[in-house]
Structure 1
């Protein structure tokens, strides 16, 4: 089954995570993605680990690389060699999208500046991802996720308290930049339908992190309040967070006064008690709210507590480990684990795309989500076939 981007050709010059993730998102939707890698070593993430997996025959594979490169072909090109630059030129002449995350100015120095690309292929959409932006006083800085998380303010909002800044457990700046990049590419492709011309889309790790500041951003820009890390409890809603109980913990959210009253009814609290009657009061008295709930929960095991909360209509859940998530029936029901056949590793299961597609009809919806995914390629696996296609 083809995806909604069937027929779109993407040339992926990116490496590491932000750009490859953007390209994989388009590949997941059916685009043909040709990943251009350096001869010999390939994408940086091929060497990132452990964990690595060693096949009986062939080079070891990095699980990091496998996470962000499915639904792609691989060709190796030395972009400083004239013959290989000619191959890239022919790819770009045919491409709908070019993705790159070199330091600003690098692609131009290789002979593929935006003016050259516009002349070569006026319909080409180019995505350029950088660390901190391509211009401005620090536009040339190298971009690494954890550094960007710190510089973008995210680490100051994450952790047990203001003196304990923490990184998010995945490279969220890279991933968000990739997501924003893919989103920008799709917008540019839509505009191309109207204008007939491509354009350059730029984003950065910094922009992506600031882009998800959400209420923490307007708390400062509008109200002049600087947010800070405060552990596993929401800064603007109470109770909303992680609460300890007998032998474990649960998470719950009372995002409305109605939910607060349901919680009180279930556990015998007075919803109108001093300092508890409104969300604003509960936020101001957060520690007392936490103490009240944890005292009530102290003799209840997590599963029993979750059952009571569910019966009372209170949104709640557990904290699962990664292996538990991939074994959970709900995860599997959403197509979030896909089977692929790798050239050297054989059958693999990989995290699946987070989007599903449906066609409505008189008898209900028919799912049209693409299910046939290809494994991340071994280095240079498709070079001969791509060169033959270019010659044909």
Structure 2
């Protein structure tokens, strides 16, 4: 592989989505990613249908450009190989529950005592404090963070997003943190511990809705396809189907009114911000 991360060895002990998404991005940038799987394989190998050549497309979505290594960490010989990989690696990423790798000697403190240059990235669902024992599934975080209360018709039930968005955002955050830690290592010679959790990534990903509550004391709610701050910014019914209409500022609204043949609406007091 060519790219800015060429020569960087990544020991990928993660599975499902957030961790593999992060390491896929590193692989796309040229890193040599060794994906370590248990004998049963990454869970997403069994998340089917659909499939391509008898491999789940969910697995294929986030595991390109990687090498695969099967290790049973309960087997002493395989565990020795895992330690050797961690000792050679520039980056190690894992998304086990906090503390779960300590019994294998693959936790941050143990590994970096032998490999001080290692960038060690940990992804969890809810951090390593009060929520440490909770499994980190995206649907749980969509519910806990409030995204489901924002998704769906105003008078309907809450809905999850169609994609595991907070897993993806957490993966992006992990990749950014790893890149920053590699930059730090260039200057200091020492690695860092990058910690990411889905809930924090979710609160970051809620952006304007989060700030509306924190800074504006406004509790967001479901609005269907409407926007809480901009009108029009939604699909609207027409004679032959839905048409997405967006007017992100006053100039665009004036243009829209002109296209619709009602330029006088642009100056109507009812529509002034």
TM-score of the pair, normalised by structure 1: 0.67
1:214 to partner: Cα distance: 1.2
- Decide which of 63, 67, 78 is 1:73's aligned counterpart: 67
- Decide which of 165, 170, 175 is 1:172's aligned counterpart: 165
- Between the aligned partners of 1:16 and 1:113, the Cα distance in structure 2 is 19
Paired position in structure 1 for 2:218: 225
Paired position in structure 2 for 1:21: 21
Paired position in structure 2 for 1:51: 50
Find runs of 4+ consecutive structure 1 residues off by over 6 angstroms.
none
Paired position in structure 1 for 2:5: 5
Aligned length: 271
Cα distance change, pair 238–217 in 1 and its aligned pair in 2 (3 A): same
- Structure 1 spans left out of the alignment, 5+ residues: 281-392
Post-superposition CA distance 1:248-267 (Å, at most 9, x none): 11212111111111111121
Is the 8 Å Cα contact of residues 105 and 111 (structure 2) preserved in structure 1? no
Paired position in structure 2 for 1:33: 33
| 1:99 aligned counterpart, secondary structure | strand
- Between the aligned partners of 1:140 and 1:189, the Cα distance in structure 2 is 29
- Decide which of 255, 272, 275 is 2:270's aligned counterpart: 275
Matches within 5 A, 1:159-238: 159-161=152-154, 163-238=156-231
Post-superposition CA distance 1:195-245 (Å, at most 9, x none): 111111111111111011211111111110001110111110111111111
Is the 8 Å Cα contact of residues 156 and 162 (structure 1) preserved in structure 2? no
User: Which structure is higher in RCO with an 8 Å CA cutoff and minimum separation 6?
Assistant: 1
Post-superposition CA distance 1:140-185 (Å, at most 9, x none): 2111111111101111111112642111111111111111111110
Instruction: Tell me whether 1:133 sits opposite 2:132 in the alignment.
Output: no
- Between the aligned partners of 1:139 and 1:156, the Cα distance in structure 2 is 24
1:273 to partner: Cα distance: 2.4
- Between the aligned partners of 1:111 and 1:88, the Cα distance in structure 2 is 10
Paired position in structure 1 for 2:57: 63
- Between the aligned partners of 2:186 and 2:20, the Cα distance in structure 1 is 25
Paired position in structure 2 for 1:123: 117
- Between the aligned partners of 2:132 and 2:199, the Cα distance in structure 1 is 11
- Superposition CA RMSD, Å: 1.3
